[in-house]
Chains A and B, each alone.
Chain A
Amino acid sequence: MEGDVLIIGGGPAGMETASRISDFKRNVILVEKERELGGHILKWDRLFPDGILASDITNELKASLGNTKVILGSYLASIEKRDDYHFVAQLSSGEIIRCSSVVLATGFKLFPAQKKQEYGYGLYDRVITNEDLETRFKKSEGLGKEAPKRVGFVHCVGSRDEKICNKQCSKLCCITAVKQAIELKQLYPDAEIFCFYMDLRMYGRGYEDLYLEAQSKYGIRFIRGRVSEISQDQSGLVIVKAEDTLASRPLKITLDWVILMAGIISERENDYLTQQLSLQLGEDGFINSLDPIIKTDQTNIPGVFVTGSATGPKTLPEVLSEARSTALTVNEYLNKIKNG
């Protein structure tokens, strides 16, 4: 198969880049390893800050793919830069793809919460992750028919933590926790909800308002302290320990459910691709842009572009805006190599 652009990854970044490059009458090939387009938001129910349905966004993105050739359930087995302007890639299915440029829209991975053993994910039934909760929201299950009395959110699980080699802030979890806490409170108005945080990073428009609403309208309580340990009592309830740093006292609380806000880490499964293309990775494992301000979607290899959260945690609107700008950059590059 031949094309102008090969896009790796069929999440929001890959889909939006594909549809915008197709607008320039280019041949675009989009490869997605899963059997469905959408990436992480397929598992998400509603999106912050306004509660728009994730499925609406996915459908809209899918509908605008234009003439993009979509290959599902396949990943790249190898990729090679032949002469100056051509790439040859082989898919897991054995199919060979020749193209003039490559866009890595390989996204991120959620931190596997069981690695933080002291939080007991996978050991205790009532310790779940942000992703698990979204899946439950999607299935309209919530936290079960029996209304929980007390629920806790643990921020920064797998983020800002040198002990598990992820120093970066995942950026989205603060606002996601606030969103999910409000959703739980809407489902179970009598439940007491606690958020254990280190810093609340409400940097986006509308986020601070949501935080204020969580406090004033929903009565969600915020405790400043990183959870050090979670255990289970005989009745299956979970006990959370932290320092209440603002009161300078150790704190203990028994909860019905604990939600771990698993952070965003780099998709290390693609390391062989970045090695074959000789791309530079940062210490955090994310792909390095040529520069962090002007050339955010270019890499150290001409013809290889990167977009979305493959270069670090990003919100959905940020990813989509970047995808559009990547489409322009790629089109410019294709014009340039055509004209010599």
Chain B
Amino acid sequence: MVDFGFKLSSSNRIDLDSCDSDLFLKLKAESGTIKQCIACGSCASSCSAANFTGVNFRKTILLIERGKNEEAKELIKGCMLCGKCTLVCPRGINTREIILSINQYYKKERF
């Protein structure tokens, strides 16, 4: 068979019909505040790690809600748990608790 150099790409879209909501459900059960986000970006704006790393809590919980857990995990890797995001959140989301829970989830379940 002639190789034309074409290949199948994996889908880039968010597929809400078959997404992995395991982590989101766990976080929702542990701390209801994760559902309260209005995506204002205060957390990412005040983040002491965000100027030099890709840390972005707003995007993390959005991606978890959309079932993109692996991508989300990468976005809190540089977090130093300073807690500024908890202080500024206008919806009173317990950001540190959620970050710790995500870390715990990956330590227990995946590694």
Q: Do A and B come from one complex?
A: yes
Question: How far, in angstroms, from A292 to B27 measured CA to CA in the complex?
Answer: 35
Interface size class of B (residues with CB under 8 A): 20 to 34
Q: Is the interface of B mostly helix, strand, loop or mixed?
A: loop
Closest to B43 in A: A243
Q: Is the CB of B92 within 8 A of A162?
A: yes
Q: B62-105: which residues lie under 8 A (CB-CB) from chain A?
A: 87-92
Q: Is the CB of A198 within 8 A of B40?
A: yes
Given A160-B90, A162-B90, A163-B89, decide whether A228 and B59 contact each other with a Cβ distance below 8 A: no
Q: Which of A161, A226, A250 contacts B47 (CB 8 A)?
A: A250
Q: Is the CB of A248 within 8 A of B90?
A: no
Question: How far, in angstroms, from A242 to B43 measured CA to CA in the complex?
Answer: 9
Q: Is the CB of A163 within 8 A of B41?
A: no
Question: How far, in angstroms, from A248 to B87 measured CA to CA in the complex?
Answer: 20
A177 to chain B, nearest CB (A): 16
A241 in contact (CB, < 8 A): yes
Which of A199, A225, A241 has the most B CB atoms < 10 Å from its CB? A225
Question: How far, in angstroms, from A245 to B50 measured CA to CA in the complex?
Answer: 13
By a CB distance below 8 angstroms, the chain A residues around B59 are 248
Question: How far, in angstroms, from A245 to B39 measured CA to CA in the complex?
Answer: 8
By a CB distance below 8 angstroms, the chain A residues around B90 are 156, 160-163, 226
| Interface size counted on chain A using CB atoms at 8 A | 22
B78 to chain A, nearest CB (A): 13
A318 in contact (CB, < 8 A): no
Q: Is the CB of A250 within 8 A of B91?
A: no
Q: Is the CB of A245 within 8 A of B40?
A: yes
B44 to chain A, nearest CB (A): 4
Question: How far, in angstroms, from A229 to B47 measured CA to CA in the complex?
Answer: 11
A254 to chain B, nearest CB (A): 16
Given A161-B90, A226-B90, decide whether A251 and B45 contact each other with a Cβ distance below 8 A: yes
Given A160-B38, A198-B38, decide whether A243 and B44 contact each other with a Cβ distance below 8 A: yes
Given A226-B41, A229-B46, A250-B44, decide whether A243 and B51 contact each other with a Cβ distance below 8 A: no
A63 to chain B, nearest CB (A): 43
Q: Is the CB of B41 within 8 A of A245?
A: yes
B-contact bits for A249-265, CB 8 A (1 contact / 0 none): 01100000000000000
Binding site for B on A (CB under 8 A): 118, 156, 160-163, 198-199, 224-229, 241-245, 248, 250-251
Q: 8 tightest A-B contacts by CB?
A: A243-B41, A226-B40, A228-B45, A243-B45, A243-B44, A245-B41, A225-B41, A228-B46
- Sample of 4 more A-B contacts, CB < 8 Å, known A226-B42, A229-B46, A244-B41: A226-B45, A242-B41, A243-B58, A248-B44
